[in-house]
Amino acid sequence: MSKAFLVAQREYVENLKTKTFWIGILSFPVILSLSILVPMWLESTKDTRKYAVIDQSGWLLPKVEERAELPDLEKFFLEMWKKPELLANADSKVIPMMDEFRKRAGKLSDEEVQQAAKQFSDTLTPGSDSPVLASLPSEAKEALVQLREEIRRAWKAMPPEEARKISRDFSKSRYQRIETTDSEEALKHRIDKDELFAYIVIGKDPLDGSDGCKYVSNNLTDESLKDWFARTATEVVRERRISDAKIDASVAKHIQEPLAFVETKVGKGGEETKVTDQDTVRQWAPVGFVYLLWISVFTVAQMLLTNTVEEKSNRIIEVLLSSVSPIQLMIGKIAGIAATGLTVLGSWIVFFFLGTTLVPKMLGRPLPIDFSIILSDPVYLSSFVAYFFLGYLLFAAILVGMGSVCNSLKEAQNLLQPVFILLIVPILAMMPIGKDPNGTLAKVMSFIPPFTPFVMMNRAAGPPTTFEYVATTILLVVSIIGAMWFAAKIFRIGILMTGKPPKFREILGWLRAPVGALPVRKEE
């Protein structure tokens, strides 16, 4: 076996010198950081959308603008609460007032702060206290009213550029209305020249219905301006209709109150716990793992195939066979490339760990969702490594056998097409299984050996029963041993064969033939 080790060692060392290896190692962190940075960058380069409004009703537009400010104020309040230093140079009055409120209110829970901010948008029953805040001392309530007034004033005085610096999520920083008396024709012309993103027409009687309301823009994909404006206008109209119908504000509020369902799950002991973001991450993490598993198994198994075919077309095989047996050669190659693959995977895990835990910690900016749960769950990581290994061995056996009968990569690719078509299946099943990890589809597919590694990984959030783990693993290991046995028989004959690739029936003949017998081939 020491010769197989030498083969594996050479394979590993030579692979480390290839570009493919380093591209494999570096592609993951590059893709990872690009997938985080590019959307951030795109978001930051997004221009403020300029729009114009023709208000035929004569009253709706100012109300809409007033109404649109409320969510901004709520957000602004929360931003200030978290990071008062943001406003340090903009306005000095807000901060002492905020401190005053803090002092009078004592320690506030997150929910109380949320409610304090929410009161900005409570337009139906202004001034009424939410039940959460009712317990505050009256001097704290007074301070809060004054603080709100001050925040409202400071916000109004703040130019859009300043608001943009604090956050891009304010409607103030995203949309800018152009004051205009132009006719519709002129506005159309301006849209055509890209001076305007869109213009909006408000109908004569919005209280009556949507007649005459329209939104005109040449950008058909970004509908956020339309949605935002329509939503705000709808709210204003709805409030007006409520008051016109003489419905009591608190009744209207009560009617509109949605039913909120608290999402909970039941733990092992039967106790009920609230569902957090982490649970969602945990539930969907296996899907990510399956994808990674699939890519890595195939990249590495294909590396083995390429390598085998190249070695064969290099005519180096027979030289090697004078020193090692074909089986030693095959085992050495499979092991050497497995080591290469595990190195790449290991580096990915390290990069992932650094990217999700250490780097944000160092930068002092925690990620919005805590991904570290993926790494701290031993089931995920260990099943990932185990299924990579088992999956690789199974496909390595198939591909090394196939590779040994091919003389060129092109032949190999033709031969592999049916295998790849078959292997799309776990990718197609990935989402359905992610949603229903213990469903019939998932259970049945777990017992089909070529799918087992991917499907079982996919189900890790379930998780499958111990019986399923044991049974599918036994089945998989038996298949691997079988596939290796077939591969060894094909390998030792195929590897010395040149000329046309053999027919499938010929290969079946090799499996029956005793080791070392090469069936005759007619060549012209």
316 binds another protein (CB under 8 A): yes
Task: Supply 418's token pair.
Answer: 């049916």
Separation of alpha carbons 239 and 77, rounded Å: 24
Question: Given the rule CB under 8 A, which of 132-140, 173-181, 293-301, 316-324 is the region that contacts another protein?
Answer: 316-324
User: Least distance to another protein from the beta carbon of 297, Å?
Assistant: 25
Q: How far apart are CB 491 and another protein at their closest, in Å?
A: 13
Question: Shortest approach of another protein to residue 473 CB, angstroms?
Answer: 35
| DSSP characters over 107-173 | S--HHHHHHHHHGGG--SSTTPPPTTTTTS-HHHHHHHHHHHHHHHHHHHHS-HHHHHHH-S-SHHH
Q: Kindly state whether residue 499 participates in binding another protein, applying the rule CB under 8 A.
A: no
**323 lies in the binding site for another protein (CB under 8 A):** yes
Q: Which range in 5-13, 186-194, 196-204, 435-443 contacts another protein by CB under 8 A?
A: 5-13
Contact between 508 and another protein by CB under 8 A: the answer reads: no
Give the sign of the dihedral formed by CA 165, CA 171, CA 174, CA 178: negative
Chain-centre distance for alpha carbon 12:
33
Tokens 């008051």 sit on residue: 243
- Could you tell me the CA-to-CA distances from 32 to 27, 326, 356, 373, 434 in Å, in that order? 8, 41, 10, 17, 22
Q: Which of 315, 365, 503, 505 binds another protein (CB under 8 A)?
A: 315
| 519 lines the binding site for another protein (CB under 8 A) | yes
Which listed residue (32, 78, 90, 320) binds another protein by CB under 8 A?
A: 320
Distance CA 349, CA 355 (A): 10
Among positions 121, 276, 278, 325, the unique one binding another protein when judged by CB under 8 A: 325
How many of the other CB atoms lie within 10 Å of CB of 121?
16
Nearer to another protein, 210 or 323 (CB): 323
Tell me which of 42, 220, 319, 421 binds another protein, using CB under 8 A: 319
**Hey, which residues does 202 pair with through a beta bridge?**
55
**Footprint of another protein on residues 122-141 (CB under 8 A)?**
none
Question: Site residues for another protein, window 459-498 (CB under 8 A)?
Answer: 496, 498
Binding mask 215-254 for another protein (x = CB under 8 A): ----------------------------------------
Tokens 């050497």 sit at which residue? 336
Instruction: Give one word for 315, left, alpha or beta, with left for phi > 0 and alpha for psi -120 to 50.
Output: left
Helices (runs of H) and strands (runs of E) counted in the chain: 23, 6
Of the candidate spans 30-38, 196-204, 279-287, 322-330, the one that interacts with another protein by CB under 8 A turns out to be 322-330
> Least distance in Å: CB of 440 to another protein?
49
Nearer to another protein, 332 or 437 (CB): 332
Residue 342 binds another protein (CB under 8 A): no
Size of the site for another protein (CB under 8 A): 29
Residue 510: exposure state from Cβ atoms within 10 A (0-12, 13-18, ≥19): buried
**If DSSP codes are grouped into helix, strand and coil, which group holds residue 193?**
coil
Q: For residues 508 and 518, which CB has a smaller minimum distance to another protein in the complex?
A: 518
322 contacts another protein (rule: CB under 8 A): yes
Q: Which residues bind another protein (CB under 8 A)?
A: 3, 6-7, 10, 14, 17-18, 311, 314-316, 318-325, 496, 498, 514-521
